[in-house]
Chains A and B, each alone.
Chain A
Amino acid sequence: MTAPRRSLLAPDPRTIARNRAEARFRAYGLGAVGVALVALAVLLLSIFGNGSSAFYQTYLEVPVMLPEKSLDKSGTRDIEVMKKVTTVGYAKVLKTALDEAIEANGIIVEGLGKKDVGNMISDEAAAQLRNMVLADPTLVGQTIAFEMLANGRIDGYYKGRVTRESAALDSNVSPAQLDLADALAEKGLLATRFNLDFITAPDASDQRPEAAGLGVAILGSFYMMIVVLALSLPIGVATAVYLEEFAVKNRFTDVIEVNISNLAAVPSIVFGILGLAIFINFAHLPQSAPIVGGLVLTLMTLPRIIIPARAALKAVPPSIRDAALGVGASRMQSVFHHVLPLAAPGILTGMIIGLAQALGETAPLLLIGMVAFVRDYPGGLFDPATALPVQVYNWTQRADPAFVERASGAIIVLLIFLLIMNTAAIVLRRRFERRW
């Protein structure tokens, strides 16, 4: 039985059904990509919306008279003597300076006690002034232009976090203070400007969100990345090369292979417990130190470097190995002269992605004490430090909403570092490939 001839101009039902199925599948794919893009956009918008203001800070800019009478009674400019004046003494100086500036500019203060006016200055400002004076005692007796950090609530007012309605309910700030702040801003005594301290300053206590910075965290993360890079690159590449090029394939290497894959899937917090037990409790390395964090992250990163490195080595065509062996190169020469350079772009990419993962890792660091409040910059691998993601975690735990802004700002910094690393991966990859 022969079917009647069908015209090519009219598609048959099967073809129509198949085309529909394909169109549906394309729609699913497009939908999946769309969902991913929307999620990314929402994420970035919310982080940048919340966090970009962390890079700006409100300052009170008034001339500050540094009276010798209260700051250096002896008049000798002897640091040891001057150190006896605490931040309380400097806070008074700042409050006086602010009062004088208000008076000099003819601003009428309504509904505020003297204390309320002084409270608009951050507690941190006095400490900063003290450090400044102790660093340069000749300032005493002079009138200097000093930018004092405004209180976090006043700062929040200019970032939209605090409104007159919320201030009325808040015991830390009153609408009258906001009125005064507006009046100061009008006279140019209060301004919001770029805040480099957010990147460089150390963390600050719960009461001083306006002073909190990422300096210690960035330095801590940097030290840890150095440790991770210095250890995991040679160990990881050597392992991959050995397993891929030299090891005999037997049950033992099979077990190793399976275990490396399993290690890559172990939750990172388990590595934290391991680090706590081995590096701190057994080896007695210091807590909260970047060296321990780096070691733990190295353990975590190694399998994630070995697996892509092996894949990159496996992807080098066997004909290259044959060619090298055929002209009388030894195994090692064939690997190091030919196979490894060809696999380098892949290994490098895996390496940088592994590093980026390590940079963003939080859980294991919590267990080895890197979550501590650290205000001193770590001078080396053995000094206490925190890390960027831990700082984010830390700040989100704090009560003051100003820390939410700080946390989002820290995420932006973290994302920028990751972006730089990924770009480096791409650039290095391109450069390596161009050589061939």
Chain B
Amino acid sequence: MNDMRVSESAVGAQDVKISARKVQVFYGENHAIKDVDVEILDRTVTAFIGPSGCGKSTFLRCLNRMNDTIPICRVEGDIMLDGEDIYDRRVDPVQLRAKVGMVFQKPNPFPKSIYDNVAYGPRIHGLTRNKAELDEVVEQSLRRAALWNEVKDRLHAPGTGLSGGQQQRLCIARAVATSPEVLLMDEPCSALDPIATAQVEELIDELRANFSVVIVTHSMQQAARVSQKTAFFHLGNLVEYGETGDIFTRPQDPRTESYISGRIG
């Protein structure tokens, strides 16, 4: 575990962006998430780690109500975004998802041009008034996703023709284009090679300047490299949540220690 250099950047006194209280998730009879309390800070990278099937992805998908698409899934408890309950009956998940963007495990660009991929979100939300504005949003998003220089000459080539790492950065650009406040990333690097992974990780660190980023990852090294806060999930419970440095160097819970030292998971 020599390469586990913990990010030095200290977490300042940031505002709480998302706060979850006593969140329970059920898949039919299966109690997948039990009593999770967590506060996610603004302009911070928060990593969810834990063994497979521990519920970290499930919990992530609660944050922008992607679980709504699964009929048997039921969520209880409160999840507040800037003090507003996102599971309130008056909340339209479509609006929520514009504020809480998501990047998935497998790069999933639309089978359209690179430009159309990025422009899709702004278009459906009516964020731009004319073509020039849209062009600007597309360029800015691609720049933020560190992809602009690679694709600026072929914006109208299909997005599916890019390499895996480029596709994932395109998906990040697409998510960024709707100017979300929170960016959820579900194992964004698991389908990428080490070089592409390094690029995406660097990108995540830059995104922190503008967004609150929540990343689910299998790789503890990755969590240590990119995040300031880390939450360790085990069997549907949030076992430990704290500063990334503390979690990896001074875990409070024996289960956390076992996991980061490789004995469980």
Contact = CB atoms under 8 A, between A and B. Distances in A.
A430 interface: no
Given A323-B108, A337-B120, A328 B178 contact: yes
Contact of A319 (B66, B108, B175): B108
B94 A323 contact: no
Contacts, number: 67
**Dominant SS among interface residues on chain A:** helix
A327 B97 contact: yes
A320 B110 CA distance: 7
A319 B97 contact: no
Contacts of B95: 328
Interface in B84-126: 94-98, 101-104, 106, 108-112, 120-121, 124-125
Contacts of B102: 322, 326
A323 B110 contact: yes
Given A322-B66, A436-B160, A328 B124 contact: yes
A144 interface: no
A333 interface: yes
Nearest to B116: A337
A38 interface: no
B104 A326 contact: yes
B171 interface: yes
B64 interface: yes
B120 A327 contact: yes
Of A248, A249, A323, A330, most buried by chain B (CB within 10 Å of CB) is: A323
Contacts of B171: 323
A326 B110 contact: no
A338 interface: yes
Interface residues of A, number: 20
Interface in A340-377: 342
A337 B178 CA distance: 17
Contacts of A47: none
B97 A333 contact: no
Contacts of B111: 320, 342, 436
A414 to B, nearest CB: 38
A319 B177 CA distance: 19
Contacts of B104: 319, 322-323, 326
A326 B64 contact: yes
Given A322-B104, A324-B120, 13 more contacts: A320-B110, A322-B66, A323-B109, A323-B171, A325-B69, A326-B101, A327-B97, A327-B98, A327-B121, A327-B175, A328-B96, A328-B125, A342-B111
Interface of A: 248-249, 317, 319-330, 333, 337-338, 342, 436
